[in-house]
Structure 1
Amino acid sequence: MLTSLLLPLALATTGAARSLGCGREIPSKFPSAGKSAILHLPGTDREYRLYIPLTYDKNQPTPLYFSFHGATRDMNEEEELSQFSNPFFNKDGIAVYPNSKNGYWLSNPSANISLPNDLDFTNDLLTHMENLLCIDSSRVYSAGKSNGGGFTAVVACNATVGSRFAAFASVSGAYYDTDNIPGVGPCKPAKRKEGYPFIEFHGTGDTTAPIDGNTNSNPKLPVIDFLEGWAERNGCVKNAKWARNETVMEDPLLRHASWDCAGKRGIVQHYRESGNGHCWPSTVGNDDYEEHPLQCPAGKSAFNATEYIFEFFRDYRLRL
């Protein structure tokens, strides 16, 4: 059960929503600007990794990016994988990498055994960040890889937690039936004018979270079903087809589909990379390519998913 209360926000003249942490010095236990460190959420046994950009200003509301790791991975690996702490992609935002309780996030059947309170943890961690750092609460975003990408959808589905995030991204997501997850309940995001922007990346050669889904003991939804579900939640009719399906590059083949729903152009987007597998697309390589090469048979990608994610996020903010 979610226990945190949404805190009042003051709107700056710039349109940014200043959190209660604005004007405060960076807490002594936090990393200094330009660095990251492992921390514990007070009053809990939960860990997270925090990155504060070199450009951080205690009086300037700053975007906040959550990045959730995949199954059996951890917060340290996710920082290396997603590159959300890399100034090349993230010039001025704070990044937080939550750590799961037992290596799995809610939605994965292995997490459902112990039912870790991941939604409360996410909600409380966001409140903690807003209380102690100068966060632009209209620009809070969630992304994740594999089980972390699936959990990002669980966050979006929750009317309390999801309503605090402006947009969502998933890379090689493992999408279980979000209407039948123990301890979570059906997907019922809170209604809001800006909708729930969602961008998704998948390789056609993914055997861990197959793009067409699977029906084994831990069945996963086909990616198209997942995308059409979010299109419907954003105001499209049920099973609505994309408004555009374009070729971004020929070799390797990269396709881009997007949905326009209720006047919101490109509110749901999908990049489909031919040949590659269960990896986070990167032109320079990352932990997926170095430590799990069999998952990435095509090798390094011809594009950076992180760059595309940040470009997508920049288009969205909450109306607070």
Structure 2
Amino acid sequence: MRAAAMTLALFLGLSGVTAASAAQPTLPTGCGQAPPVRPGTTERFTLGSGGTEREYLLHVPDGYQRDKPSPVILAFHGAGGTDTVLEAFSDLSTLDAIVLYPQGLKGSEGTAWQGAPYASSADDVRFVQDLLDRTETDLCVDTTRIFATGKSNGGGFTALLACRLADRIAAFAPVAGAYYPGTTQGCESSPPVPMLEFHGTEDAVIHYEGGVRHGARYPAIGDWLTTWTEKDHCSAGKERRVAEDVVELEWSDCVAGAEVRHYRVEGGGHTWPGATQDSGSGDTTQSISATKTIWRFFQDHPRRS
């Protein structure tokens, strides 16, 4: 009887050790080491990808801790743009997140991202995968909170990533996106994802009602949203005015924790809402901050296991 009691106590003791061990998740690979960038600063780096040397800016937030996994935001500039300019007008580096600003390669119309008719032949999706691999090796990354945003052509590329890298990126937020046919490659079999979009009704570059540019037709924003609400299997959405010039359309009853949300900026141009520096042609609303809204959306949508 005493032996049985001792055996039971030993079993319970070992079970407690096992449970305690299970409650201590293993930190990601890059945790515990000094970051390659002093917290609170941004530096330029290069990375070989697909046989080409690629560049990107890395911003590490001021409150970064080497043993506390941090979220990551990928931010893509527009056609002809640069990583530096995007960082300046978006203010994404003010957020409590590691921010990666990749630099696009030159295509027929200047720097651009995969999916646009004027982009180079580079495999930018692979570049993003390689960049995430390096970042997860060098920094303490919360791999359930990796997000993507971008402006114009960078917004279109963000939509492409939603179809191609949903297994690594949790949520997506294009701004004034250029949704050319090439940005839908791989979407047929990709899973539902949270999608947030901003677009001005007076965008003279990528028209709200759709059009043709660089010989390629792009959809009206309403049609593009319908594609995503159907893909995410959302039920009827709701509409509300959040400012004198901004209307929010939201579809939150979607499968797998997905959500589709859109901010229609009435009179808005090809710009980043809330930007105080030049972010494109046309009017820039100050009634809503794209950066703050994107951050709240990202925080609400970590990747589901």
TM-score for the superposition, normalised by structure 2: 0.85
1:200-254 per-residue CA deviation (whole Å, 9 max, x = no partner) reads: 0011100101111103523211111111111112123xxx7x510111112xx21
User: Which has the larger Rg?
Assistant: 2
List runs of 5+ in structure 2 lacking aligned partners.
Answer: 1-20
Cα offsets for 1:116-156 (capped at 9, x unmatched): 11000001101110011000000000000000000000111
For residues 36 and 48 of structure 1, what CA distance do their matches in structure 2 show?
10
Q: Using the alignment, how far apart are the partners of 2:257 and 2:144 within structure 1?
A: 20
**Corresponding residue number in structure 2 for 1:212:** 209
The separation in 2 between residues aligned to 1:201 and 1:247, in whole angstroms, is: 14
Q: Which amino acid aligns with 1:227?
A: L
Secondary structure of the 1:205 match is coil
Partner of 1:286: 277
Alignment-derived partner of residue 59 in structure 2: 51
Q: Give yes or no for contact 1:119–1:155 (8 Å, CA) kept in 2.
A: yes
Q: What aligned pairs does 1:17-28 form with structure 2 within 5 A after superposition?
A: 18-26=27-35
Out of 142, 165, 172, the residue aligned to residue 169 of structure 2 is 165
AA partner of residue 201 (structure 2): T
1:40 is aligned to 2:46 = yes
Q: In structure 1, how many angstroms separate the alpha carbons of the residues matched to 2:239 and 2:171?
A: 21
Compute the displacement of 1:261 (Å).
4.0
2:263, 2:285 → 1: CA distance? 16
Residues 1-320 of structure 1: pairs in structure 2 closer than 5 A = 18-26=27-35, 30-42=36-48, 44-86=52-94, 90=95, 92-102=96-106, 103-111=111-119, 114-158=120-164, 161-178=165-182, 185-188=185-188, 190-191=190-191, 195-216=192-213, 217-236=215-234, 242-250=236-244, 253-262=245-254, 267-282=259-274, 285-288=276-279, 292=280, 295-297=281-283, 299-320=284-305
Q: 1:186 offset after TM fit, Å? A: 3.8
In the alignment, residue 304 of structure 1 is paired with which amino acid?
A: S
Contact 2:58 2:99 in 1 (8 A): yes
Q: Matches of 1:276 and 1:135 in 2, distance apart?
A: 35
* C-alpha distance in structure 1 between counterparts of 2:113 and 2:156, whole Å: 8
Greater share of helix residues, 1 or 2?
2
Closer, same or farther in 2 for the Cα pair 1:263/1:117, shift >3 Å?
Answer: closer
Per-residue CA distance 1:28-81 (angstroms, 9 max, x = gap): xx3211100111014641000000011111100000000000000011111112
Higher mean C-alpha displacement, 141-150 vs 223-232:
223-232
Cα distance in 2, alignment partners of residues 12 and 167 from structure 1: 28
CA distance, structure 1, for counterparts of residue 24 and residue 173 of structure 2: 26
Name the aligned partner's letter for residue 282 of structure 2. Answer: C
Task: State the SS of the aligned residue for 1:45.
Answer: strand
SS of residue paired to 2:92: coil
Query: CA RMSD of the aligned region, Å?
Result: 2.2
Percentage of pairs with the same residue: 35
Counterpart-to-counterpart distance in 2, 1:101 and 1:14: 42
Separation of aligned partners in 1, 2:287 and 2:22: 40
In the alignment, the residues of structure 2 paired with residue 220 and residue 13 of structure 1 have an alpha-carbon distance, to the nearest angstrom, of 49
**Kept in 2: contact 1:204–1:277 (CA 8 A):** yes
- In the alignment, what sits opposite 2:4? none
Q: Which runs of 5+ in 1 are unaligned?
A: 1-10
TM-score by length of 1: 0.81
Mapped to 2, the partners of 1:116 and 1:37 lie a distance apart of 24
Q: For residues 69-97 of structure 1, give each alpha carbon's deviation from its aligned partner in whole angstroms, at most 9, with x where no partner exists.
A: 000001111111221101xxx1x210000
Question: What is the distance in 2 between the residues matched to 1:162 and 1:74?
Answer: 25
Q: Which secondary structure state, in structure 2, belongs to the residue aligned with residue 287 of structure 1?
A: coil
Please give the alpha-carbon distance, in whole angstroms, between the structure 1 residues aligned to 2:150 and 2:206.
14
Structure 1's 247 and 21: CA in aligned 2 closer, same or farther, altered over 3 A? same
The number of equivalent residue pairs is: 278
